[in-house]
Homo-oligomer: A and B are copies of this chain.
Amino acid sequence: MGDEEVKLLGVWASPFSKRAEIALKIKGISYEHIDEDLSKKSSELLRYNPIHKKLPVLLHNGKPICESLVILEYIDETWESGPSILPKDPFSRAMARFWAKFIDDKCIAAMWSIRKRSEGQEKAIEELTEHLKTLENELKGKKFFGGDEIGLVDITANVIALWLGVLLELLGIELLTKEKFPRLCEWVDDYLDNSVIKETLPARKKIKEYLSNVLRT
């Protein structure tokens, strides 16, 4: 596989881009990271993801793969030799896909809704609380969602480990606390302490600056 070309069009502040990076690093794949400018879509992005025009895009020997969860499965199936991102048996794989989709469809939607100080904010906080309770329950008896090692759901949940905490701090909302979510908070600690995660996710301070600007606009 020495002649392979692996490139990732991504952006440092995006949890979706970071998912792809985490998966490539877990697999030990060398790749070139092309940091896109969020304020101006590059011609590469428009060429390789004409449907959604969104990051990340994985380019493997010139072939583009889009949508972060699709990319994670592609990485797992292409470089089979490395550590697994999805479990092996079909039922556990289905559960991993179910939870990854739950984070994308439910948790992230609720996260975006709490940022607006409107009438809907309270309802969004309630919804997010329910979703976090669901995740808290799913973590019982496990170190990571994937078991002893980080897997598909943990990679997908990077947004909860880093971005959510910063967002709640900026909004002055006390939610993801050790009293309310002891298991989830332990998971956050273990997750951010993992060597691959540590070297891949941006510094909390940078995310705080970034999200603070987003909230102002």
The chain A residues found within 8 Å of chain B, CB to CB, are 51, 60, 63, 65-67, 69-71, 73-74, 77-78, 90-91, 93-94, 97-98, 101-102, 134
Contact = CB atoms under 8 A, between A and B. Distances in A.
Given A67-B101, A101-B67, A73 B94 contact: yes
A65 B91 CA distance: 8
B94 A70 contact: yes
A73 B101 CA distance: 14
Contacts of A93: 73-74, 77
Nearest to A60: B91
Contact of A74 (B77, B91, B101): B91
Counted per complex, copies of this chain come to: 2
Given A51-B134, A65-B98, 9 more contacts: A51-B102, A63-B91, A67-B98, A67-B101, A70-B97, A74-B91, A74-B93, A74-B94, A78-B90
Nearest to A91: B63
B134 A70 contact: no
A73 to B, nearest CB: 7
Nearest to A71: B94
Given A51-B134, A134-B51, A74 B90 contact: yes
Central interface residue in A66, A91, A94, by most chain B CB within 10 Å: A94
